[in-house]
Structure 1
């Protein structure tokens, strides 16, 4: 499997990445690469200091099996749209999966990537407020996570559902194992005979 890339920046929502990054490494044996807008240290909402592995300008799209955008206040303020949007559109054009959770869904909307796709966010009102004119309300799905043609979107409350959609998109493990994982992390149901290696 190619590498999984995740964008990190000051104030990114670290808890939204916990399950998904752990499982793409555990089940997919994927290398996770952190990407920043620069190579400077960033500090997450939870206070984790992260040195990005590389800046966005050095990412090779052909090396990506999935690109993840976590939520964060940055998306509700200002960010380097001139750099990020062409990059995301190139991934979309090549069929490379993109996953965005919480406020990061607004980035995909502004880039035009949600047009013609079923999607979700924190709420339809939130998405329209933050990305007015870039949304398609008829295709908004009232769910914690939605996947449509290599694009995954999720509510900030849907980190577990987000992870399952990523696992399905990348075909990691079996559908039975993914369901057991979901029931465990979502409902607290963990069978005694479950194979922990998946």
Structure 2
């Protein structure tokens, strides 16, 4: 990985809450998010937010991929109802072949399964039979876990955007292991003691937890 650009795939009905934990941290640590659409026509998220793609998928040339840090694919009902998002799965294959990480959550994992990208990699999703319906050959590599990283591939189920972000932040080196664990405990478990670790201090004593909780509400 040599680049600092996060390429976020956007399409109508994409699950806009799924990438937010990751992208909000990445943009605070030197990365730039660029949205990628099938075209540059605006799309509307599942939450009703209108997004104007920065570039088209065809503009993700081998040179652009080589300069990327990550391709991020979110869920959408369109992964389940047709093949119009298949170009994103195919492009994910190009990223992985170039040694550039790919992160897929929710329905995007089905797209990767159909493209054969999960056949030889450990992965997870909503449930195993969701991917099995694709006819893919990777059932033995399915993991019952919130999120899974295997080499340059990160996968997660639809209810795990925080675990998904943890794997992305770890893969891209945003936090070292101790702070990454603290970040996860703070946002996933509401563990107030983790706030001090993120600020570079030792974990607070039990009596300081209330103050840390109040401060953590403003942490981004």
Q: Which residue is 1:79 aligned to?
A: 83
Within 5 Å, give how 1:1-198 maps onto structure 2. 1-26=3-28, 28-59=29-60, 60-80=64-84, 83-129=87-133, 131-132=134-135, 134-191=136-193, 193=196, 194-195=198-199
C-alpha deviations, 1:23-76, integer Å up to 9, x for none?
1112x3100000001101100010110000011111221221100000010101
The 1-side partners of 2:26 and 2:72 are apart by 12
RMSD over equivalenced CA pairs, Å: 1.8
Quote how far apart the aligned CAs of 1:180 are. 0.8
Distance in 1 separating the partners of 2:48 and 2:145 = 29
Shift of 1:81: 5.6
SS in 1 for 2:53: coil
The residue matched to 2:8 in structure 1 has which SS? strand
Q: 1:85, CA displacement in angstroms?
A: 4.1
What is the TM-score of this pair, normalised by structure 1? 0.92
Distance 2:99 2:66 in 1: 11
Extract unaligned runs of 5+ from structure 2: 200-215
How does the TM-score come out when normalised to structure 2? 0.83
- Consecutive aligned runs of 4 or more in structure 1 exceeding 3 Å deviation: 79-86
Structure 1 residues without counterparts, runs of 5 or longer: none
Report the secondary structure of 1:15's partner residue. coil
Q: What's the CA shift for 1:80?
A: 3.4
2:40 partner SS:
coil
The size of the alignment, in residue pairs, is 195
The structure number with the bigger radius of gyration is 2
- Measured at CA, do residues 76 and 82 of structure 1 come closer, stay the same or move farther in structure 2, by a change above 3 Å? closer
Task: Specify the SS of the correspondent of 2:11.
Answer: coil
